[in-house]
Amino acid sequence: MPEPAQSWCGLAMKVASSWCARAAAFTARFKAVTPFQRDTYVMTLMLCVAATALLIAPAAFHRVVYRRRLKRHLVQMASRLALAGLALLLLAIISALLLTLNVVTGTAPTLILAGGALLWFVTWWFVVPLSSRIRHHASVPPLDVDEESHSRPSVR
């Protein structure tokens, strides 16, 4: 598997292990949580599951379409799946932060801190790359993903 796919799988495995490690629902203290905390906990788990599926999906997709002359489609789908997975991972991280901060600090600080974290992630994961893409769009031709090209790293 090429290095980018390996790094995506590594990230997805870390996400998977982090949500699997969240066994708080099986502790005695979990019965004392508020409905908001319980709902946030469930939402966090579901977002982690969904993010894990989308972040691992490019590797599975690659295995299914390997050597079928679908490289351009593979690259486009892998990009879309990875972006969707990152968006869900972002929501899962913020949701976990929201839950943890709510237990520790209360509602007002939780909303401020989680909102700040959300803004921080959105800025670095989406705004900066998109502004760079827009700024450099006119000067850089799009990368042509050639099925038969051996001079560029292949997605296999």
Give the per-residue pLDDT at 155: 52
Q: In angstroms, rounded to a whole number, what is the distance separating the alpha carbons of residues 60 and 148?
A: 22
Largest CA distance in the chain: 60
Q: Where are the domains of the chain?
A: 3-23+31-135
70: DSSP letter: -
Give the per-residue pLDDT at 135: 87
Tens digit of each residue's pLDDT, the chain (156 residues): 445 545 655 665 565 555 445 555 556 666 678 899 889 999 999 999 999 999 999 999 999 988 888 888 899 999 999 999 999 999 999 999 999 999 899 899 999 999 999 999 999 999 999 999 888 876 666 666 554 444 455 554
DSSP 3-state of 135 = helix
- Tokens encoding 15: 């996400």
89 touches 8 (CB < 8 A): no
